[in-house]
Amino acid sequence: MLSGGGMGETMVIFLEEHFLFFTLSAAFLLLSIVCRFLTGMRLGKLLCEAGSLSATENVLLKQCRLKFQSCYELNGGVVNTGVFVEKFMQGIRIGKFSLRFWKMAAGQLLLLSVFTDGLGACLGMIAGETLREIFPFYLLAFLSLLLHFSAAGIADAAGKREKLKTALEDFLDNRMAVRLDGVKRDNVYLEAQEQENRPAASGKGRKEDFGGVEKTAGEDFVEKAELEQLLQEFL
């Protein structure tokens, strides 16, 4: 069993002889953790904004709301909300890359970190190093796995994704759709009222016009009769 002083001495020798492998392994591990936190932070921000989706200024969520409204109106109120939201979730990006890309990148970087540790251990064994001398590689591999999955648990990208999806479906189904149905009913009612009032108004206008014509013709007839009577009296 290695003592504390022996372990410290072994680590110093290890860092001096295998600094390149140690640096590469640590760099890959750090990048994998960064990918996990980027994904979690992106979803966390959207989840906070989704709490006030009707008044949010987030461009992505506003696009989601407007697209749902367009689909709802074009399809006559029939929209598969679950599929719509899932498609929206797949379109969320960090930079030019989707969340799925960042998740896969985190996993691949972790594998590269562990692979670097394994490669260093294999090369050490080929060079004739003892188990004590290459033991830090195994320790680094274990710590890489532990730190990576701990960071993934803290970022909780999967949990935040599920919560965001639930929040969007709840808003679109129970608020947005109900509101759009109410607007549609109001528009139908107003159009019906307008159609009912239009024929009545036009009929009334025609009656008044005809009445005006009859009245004018009667006045002309009376005036002609009076004029003829005056001429007869004069003659």
Show pLDDT as tens, one digit a residue, over the chain (235 residues). 445 455 566 667 777 777 888 899 999 999 999 999 999 999 999 999 888 887 888 899 989 888 988 888 887 777 788 899 999 999 999 999 999 999 999 999 999 999 999 999 898 888 888 887 888 889 999 999 999 999 999 999 999 999 999 999 988 888 877 777 665 665 555 666 677 777 655 555 544 444 444 445 455 555 656 656 654 554 3
Residue 50 lies in a domain: yes
Containing H/E element for 94? strand 93-94
Q: In this structure, what DSSP letter does residue 93 have?
A: E
What residue spans of the chain are helical by DSSP H? 4-17, 19-50, 59-74, 81-90, 99-126, 131-155, 157-171, 177-234
In-domain check, residue 201: no
- The answer to whether position 186 is within a domain reads no
Answer whether 22's CB lies under 8 Å from 15's CB. yes
Judged by DSSP in three states, 98 sits in strand
Domain count, the chain: 1
- State residue 192's pLDDT score: 62
112 is written with which tokens?
């590269």
Residue 19 lies in a domain: yes
Q: Evaluate whether residue 128 is within a structural domain.
A: yes
What pTM, to 2 d.p., does this model score? 0.71
What is the domain range of residue 52? Answer: 4-180
* Sequence-ordered alpha helix ranges (H) in 91-176: 99-126, 131-155, 157-171
Look at the block and give the residue holding tokens 């648990």.
153
Asked if residue 215 is part of any domain, the answer here is no
Give me the pLDDT at residue 225, please: 61
Mutual angle of helices 4-17 and 131-155, in 10-degree steps: 90
Q: How far is CA 137 from the centre of its chain?
A: 42
Does the residue 235 lie in any domain?
no
77: left (phi over 0), alpha (psi -120 to 50) or beta: left
Residue 211 in domain: no
| Other CB atoms within 10 A of residue 167 CB | 17
